[in-house]
Amino acid sequence: MREIFLCSISNVSSGDCPEDCAYCTQSAHHQGKIRRYKYKKPEEVLEEAKYLHSLGALGFCLVTSGRGLDDQKCEYIASLAASIKKEVPHLHLIACCGRADVESLKHLKKHGVDSYNHNLETAQNFFPQICTTHTWEERFETCENTLKAGLLLCSGGIFGLGESFNDRIELLRTLQSLTPATTPINFFIPSPSLPIKEKVMSAEEALECLSLAKEFLPKTKLMVAGGREVVFGTDQREIFDCGVDAIVLGDYLTAKGDAPKKDLEMLANYGFAIATSCDA
């Protein structure tokens, strides 16, 4: 029986990011209508981890807003990781905290983080059209630092930002060169607060993006993340036919996902099992 890997997200530090990423409601430049807080209480994060793991989530991603991993943030994430691993030792922990150097990443690994997520988002030549406060090269460097630190790399992007077909190919070729363990594919969802005014991508075009990603990254765990429910609706069987190996269970950073039990019922109806190992 085919197994699907379930990953979950905890937005442990939300909003007021100084970066101007045109696709992100957490940017202070856009003033999106979202919850804003500095750091979530550790006991709250631990309860989230336990609950989602009890539903079958094997991955748990600790996400912070802001440009990068400074000393305070690094210690906070390291402390969270250590406490979670003590209570839920088999949970695969991912940190997603922006720009990071090798030593900080090694520190996170020492305290229980298994993977680091830093998305390239789009092609190098298109990136300046969606962000001006940091460079694509900075993102690529953090991906390289992740591998140097001995962490598994989780890196992907967002489709539907106004990029060309060639931009999509360029992004996938670059990801191919990094050989990430997991590649999350997101689909842009419009928001009144965001400067990007692209419409929601059609399911047909989104499936083409997923097929392309699997073609370029046949050995990478391909995960559909943001935009899954909006783009594909209730009939999502075809995303798995395109080679998707993983989905996000529960909520996203600032957007609600489907109720976890609804996704679990969907997978069961498709005849899939829930992965119990990261090797699935």
Residues contributing to the annotated binding site for [4Fe-4S] cluster: 17, 21, 24
Binding-site annotation, residues for [2Fe-2S] cluster: 61, 154
Return the DSSP state at 198.
P
Distance CA 11, CA 263 (A): 20
Burial of 211 (0-12, 13-18, 19+ CB in 10 A): middle
User: Could you give phi then psi for residue 153, rounded to 5 degrees?
Assistant: -100, 130
Question: Of 200, 171, 196, 197, which is closest to residue 185 (Cα–Cα)?
Answer: 171
Sign of the CA dihedral with 134 first, then 137, 140, and 144 last: negative
Give me Rg for the CA atoms of the chain: 17
Cα distances (angstroms) measured from residue 215 to each of 99, 209, 231: 28, 10, 21
Length of the chain: 280
Specify the 3-state DSSP secondary structure of 151.
coil
CA angle (11 as vertex; 176, 222 as ends), nearest 5: 25
Burial of residue 177 (number of CB atoms within 10 Å: 0-12, 13-18, 19+) = exposed
Q: Which residues are annotated as a binding site?
A: 17, 21, 24, 61, 154
